[in-house]
Each structure stands twice: as structure tokens, then as C-alpha cells.
A = this chain, B = another copy of it.
Amino acid sequence: MGVVRKTQSVNLVLNAFKAENKAISVIDLVDRFSDKINKTTVYRVLDRLEDDGVLHSFLGVNGIKWYAPCKDCSEHKHTDVHPHFQCTDCGKIDCLNVDIIIPKLPNREVAGAQVLIQGKCEACCN
């Protein structure tokens, strides 16, 4: 909800995700835009873009927040419950285009799941 203005900050952040089609950590974003966008603004821009279904967020190994572009999400429906893969060598995270089967749990109401697979990425496997 709410009017989302195409501000300079929004454009800068969106271009970053367009340029490299992978997840970027908030820390990385705050750092790389430190001379152009205020830290607080980065956090708020990401919040807004997530609300609008443009980005989705999740947590990396150390509890650091990461963002990645959404594919099938909208403002009203967030279907992006795919797993993420974090490389233990280089630290990079990719979105995986596979489905994880969550088993039925008796007496519990499953609403979603966060799956972070760890290991060596393609580049670091050599």
C-alpha cells in the first residue's frame, strides 16, 4: 500500500539488483551507497520495496539480512518461499529455483518456512 515514489535512492537500489541478479546483504548495500544514500534511507527503501513485492528478504548465516528480487510476488501475495544457498567459502547467496517439501505436522498450522542451504557454490567448487 501507499504511494511509492521513484526517488533517486530507489533507482540506485533497484539498479544494483538489476545489474547483478542475486541476493545482496543490507550491510553490503549500506556500505556501497554510503556516500550517496544515508544508512537509514537504505533500510527504509528496502522496507518499501519489500512491501510492494519487488524484493524479498531473508536471513543469512550470521543473522544478517539479505534482499533479492522477487519473481512471482506481488504487493498482496508473497509466494517466494524458495530456499537460498549460501556459499561457506565466498559468502554469496543465490535463490534456488527448487521446491522444498515441508512435512505435515500434526496439531500444527504451518504458515511458511525459511530454508538456508549451506555449502560450496559453483565458483568455489573448483
Contacts and interface: CB of A to CB of B under 8 A. Distances in A.
Interface of A: 59, 61, 63-65, 83, 85, 88, 96, 98, 100-103, 105, 107-122, 125
A61 to B, nearest CB: 8
A114 to B, nearest CB: 4
A108 B88 contact: no
A112 B107 contact: no
A29 to B, nearest CB: 17
B112 A118 contact: yes
Contact of A108 (B61, B111, B125): B125
A122 B110 CA distance: 11
Given A63-B64, A122-B108, A117 B96 contact: no
A96 to B, nearest CB: 7
A107 B121 CA distance: 7
Chain B CB within 10 Å — which of A64, A115, A122 has the most? A115
A122 B111 CA distance: 13
10 contacts: A59-B63, A61-B114, A63-B65, A85-B105, A100-B103, A105-B117, A108-B122, A109-B125, A111-B118, A112-B117
